[in-house]
A and B are shown apart, each in its own frame.
Chain A
Amino acid sequence: MVPDDDTQTADERWLCAVLQRQGLEVEPARLAELARAQALLARYTEFLRQASPVSVRHLGQPHDA
């Protein structure tokens, strides 16, 4: 696991923590690149979050909204 250090960005620290919690590791030299990919993936998950009709944001709508 990559030790937490001051040179890591917030995204890299978050990624390390998520992986560590699941017993997974990323090679230190590949951390920045993987964080960049995760940011690309996050654009997709954020879009899906915004597009989803099933959320307390839509409380009061019928179940099949």
Chain B
Amino acid sequence: MMPEADGDTPGLAQAARALRAGSLSSLELTRHCLARIAELDPGLNAFVTLTEERALAAARQADEELRAGHRRGPLHGIPLGLKDVIDLAGVPTSGQSSQLHGHVPMRNAAAVDRLEQAGAVLMGKLTTHEFAFGPPRWGPPGPPARNPWHAAHFAGGSSSGAAVAVASGMLLGALGSDSAGSVRSPAALCGVAGFKPTRARIDLRGSLPLAPSLDCLGPLARSVEDCALLYRALAQPGEDFWRADELPWGEIRGLKIGVVRSFLDERSGTSAPTRTAIGDAIATFEALGCEVRDVSLPAPWEWNAAGMVILLGEAFAYHEHWLRSRPQHYGAGLRDALLLGATLSAADYCRAQEHRQALSSNLDALLEDVDLLLCPIQASAAPPLDQLTTWGFLEKPSYGIAFNLSDNPALSVCCGFGPQGLPLALQLVGRRNDEITPLRAGHAYEQACEWHRRRPPL
């Protein structure tokens, strides 16, 4: 079997089955991805560093092991990428910043060790925003990633390269980081699935911090099933774990879903197409037998208030030394954003943490009555790159940061397409440490709608 008959890249689960059956080799699949990268990446800028030789060597090793019957699991022989804030031994971690010029880590990040132990073929480092926070940047060390559905549009951030590479079939999956929606938002804008688990589930050691009390790592892939396979390999084993090849799917009839109206109504800033698409998704969940009802949470801007004060305070603490000693090595956009953290007082930070506790308690109480929350992850489809504003993170509501604050697992799933053919998405939020319920519901939704099977016009 060659990747798809139409030249499309197979999904991760599909490729894993073909590799297991011996109808596809890892080397064929890796070469296919390298050809996609050569063809598409000059226009999409998903890669910062391509590790071609390393990937081909890993693919050959995977094939040898698979032929010998030593299968390590569903990621064995699968081409994946890493956001360039996550260390891969011997390969530069740039953080998309001149500050880290020449920085080559000696050791893998803990999560990368898990991927390598699972037999993954690591293809390289993927475009991000500077230190996973700055605005898209046109100067060195690299240009911003472009949305494969419309190259003039934003790919989301900050795991932009990861979402672009997966959506365009350059990779079958990727690992990103998420402190305020940075896995889920680019996944949403590029029409793929993105999952932020409970923070402690994926080991953060060896990834660049942005805001340590909010930071998480999470997978992006074309489908929820593929995301679940990645998550299973990345996560610290837990009592609720499923066997690597047997995903915990099944009936979602009777699942209680709370629709967060304060995140969805017109006052929250969502566009009409987003509200329509999510309305249709709600009807789908009802048709699948779920009990759907409205629930109430404080408005997104209130979460943003606590979240941005915490994020800016923690990011400033991390960068303070370089802001004093070598500020010229930051892009202007990130440097200004980090300087905002210097204007916060200890009292501001404490009050934000206190408000975080109150908001999280409110959310915990809701999740005693329902199994899952449903809300948007983006206000609308991807805007044109030239319409982005420098201070959008302060001016516009964030639908993602709430669940970094509360540390609940949250999944972004494509739920339709807007007027310009750009993807729209919804977010499913589970109880803390219950990663299975949002994944199971997201998978059932995808099987009912199949939005995830659409491909960008490349």
Contacts and interface: CB of A to CB of B under 8 A. Distances in A.
A47 B299 CA distance: 13
A51 B390 contact: no
B306, B323, B339, B391 pick with most chain A CB within 10 angstroms:
B339
A26 B327 CA distance: 9
B348 A48 contact: yes
Interface in B315-362: 320, 323-324, 327, 332, 336-337, 339-340, 342-344, 347-348, 351-352, 354-355
Contacts of A34: 336, 339-340
Contacts of B320: 22
B309 interface: yes
Contacts of A47: 302, 305
Interface string A37-52: 1101101110111011
B339 A49 contact: no
B308 interface: yes
Contacts, number: 75
Nearest to B341: A41
A16 to B, nearest CB: 11
B394 to A, nearest CB: 4
Contacts of B336: 26, 30, 33-34, 37
Chain B interface residue number, banded:
20 to 34
A15 interface: yes
A41 B339 CA distance: 12
Contacts of B342: 18-19, 22, 24
A19 B309 contact: no
A41 B343 contact: yes
A47 B391 CA distance: 19
B274 interface: no
A31 B103 CA distance: 31
B391 A48 contact: no
B53 interface: no
Contacts of B390: 33, 37
B454 to A, nearest CB: 37
